[in-house]
Amino acid sequence: MELPYVFGGPLAQARLRAEQEDFRVEEDLGYEPTGAGEHVWLWLEKRGCNTDWVATQLAKAARVPKLAVGYAGLKDRHAVTLQWFSVTVKPEHEPDWATVMPEGVTLVRATRSAKKLKRGALKGNRFHIFVRDLARTELVDARLADIARYGVPNYFGEQRFGRDGENVTRFLASQAAGLPEDRFTRGILLSAARSHLFNQVLARRVLDKTWDRPLAGDRMMLDGSRSVFAYDVNDSLIPERLAIMDIHPSGPLWGRGETLVTDEAQRLEQDIAASLGSLPTLLEQAGLERERRALRLPVRDLLCEWSEPGAALSFRLPRGTYATAVLRELVNWHADFDVDTASADR
């Protein structure tokens, strides 16, 4: 199913990533290292390097196990990215970090902190994306204003699913063969299947025009958190909180356990799950616990600077969300590489 748009579809064709500098990501932890402790924290700028490879090189340089290196989220290889790494190493064994950086990686800052960086322990990312061959028009200006005001559907990006959605196909094939024992591959397939179900629920609610307003029996999610609460139709503050994007309707990250939603919301989600054959049951059998994800993605601090080759966009997104969800509402694009393979919770 092609995922529906909320603003009428893309307005133009454009080019992304003609140059590596066209796509920049800056990690926002939402907090600062303490300045002292057993963990070295390194603020690194990297080009053409994936996060896990950099972590491996840091472990080798410090002569520590790879498990001693931490990071909050995976960042795109085909981009310029700024992110934190932590390394558990004693001061007397600490290398001269500026001289041991691998090719494509630059040390910006080194400090210490009391804790190791953990996956998912960040607020979000700031994106700086140059969209080439996009001409300024009144329609484009209006679309950008709509995106900033209303947000966009919080779809998982295509990169989550592999080429031609092969990760979901491989997950379904595991019904006979079993899931791979390799933890990394297993996680990729489970995430793809879970994300596919969520996207189908969200797509239905986009079509029904309920992606940004609650249904009876819905669970609302607090912006910037994973906390949810039951929608109360008699709560007079809900419309105002929705309007300022303090809360959002949520959709299912499928697994075992309570559905959390009731009434109309439950019927819609069960209808979508039933249409996907064995996929929901396989997710439950894999032992995943049911969770929720916001249906709406707020696009904070959206700015656009125009030049003759195109538009320089910058915006902030919360962790675990995709810049492609924003860009698809504005343009169709051609890119030399997959766009936005980095999602902060993966």
For 121-138, the three-class secondary structure string (H helix, E strand, C coil) is CCCEEEEEEEEECCCCCH
pLDDT of residue 1: 59
pTM above 0.85, yes or no: yes
Spans of the chain, pLDDT less than 70: 1, 335-346
Determine the 3-state secondary structure of 243 from DSSP: helix
Please state, in angstroms and rounded to a whole number, the distance separating the CA atoms of residues 294 and 193: 17
Backbone angles phi, psi at 146, to 5 degrees: -65, -40
- pLDDT in the model for residue 335: 67
Q: Is 288 helix (H, G, I), strand (E, B) or coil?
A: coil
Please tell me what DSSP assigns to residue 81. E
Contact 226, 291 (CB under 8 A): yes
Whole-number pLDDT of residue 345: 37
CB count in 10 Å sphere of residue 187: 13
pLDDT of residue 17: 81
Helices (H), 97-230: 97-100, 138-150, 166-177, 183-207
- Residue 76 bears catalytic tag: yes
What is the 8-class DSSP label of residue 92? G
Own/partner pairs, 100-106, CB within 8 angstroms, 24+ separation = 100/61, 101/44, 102/49, 102/54, 102/57, 104/46, 104/47, 104/48, 104/49, 105/44, 105/45, 105/46, 105/47, 105/49, 105/54, 105/57, 106/44, 106/45, 106/46
> What per-residue confidence (pLDDT) applies to 179?
82
Task: Give the tens place of pLDDT for each residue, 83-124.
Answer: 999 999 999 999 999 999 999 999 999 999 999 999 988 999
Q: What is the pLDDT of residue 341?
A: 46
Report helix, strand or coil for 107: strand
Catalytic residue, candidates 22, 76, 212, 340: 76
Q: At what angle do helices 183-207 and 263-275 cross, to 10 degrees?
A: 120
Q: Which residues pair with 45 in a beta bridge?
A: 82, 106
158-208: pLDDT as tens digits:
888 988 889 999 999 887 777 887 888 888 999 999 999 999 999 999 999
